[in-house]
Amino acid sequence: MSTIDSIQSAQTIVVDSTERGVGPIRSMLRASRRLLSSLALWRQKRETRWTLRDLTDDQLRDIGLTRSEAMIEVGKSFFWD
């Protein structure tokens, strides 16, 4: 085996070992992003529904909702779309 072959083999080993470690890290990053995205969506829904709850009847009429429709929306679980 020549010196060049030894260097190439060593480089291959280093690359292979780092690639194995990247897979779980990327998976954790993707899962973290999904979790943060879900939490942001939940917070947005909650804040929007709280704002809807505080609108006057005239404001609700402007957006085409009745008070009862608004209260139905406000009462939904955060799992709902």
What is the pLDDT tens value at each position of the chain, 81 positions in all?
Answer: 555 555 555 555 554 545 555 688 999 999 999 999 989 998 998 899 999 999 999 999 999 999 999 999 898 876 665
d(CA 12, CA 9) in angstroms, rounded, equals 5
pTM for this model (two decimals): 0.56
Q: Are 60 and 70 in contact (CB under 8 A)?
A: yes
Counting Cα atoms < 13 Å in the Cβ hemisphere of 50 gives 7
Contacts 24+ apart (CB under 8 A), 18-22: none
pLDDT at 12: 53
Nearest alpha carbon to residue 56 among 66, 41, 46: 66
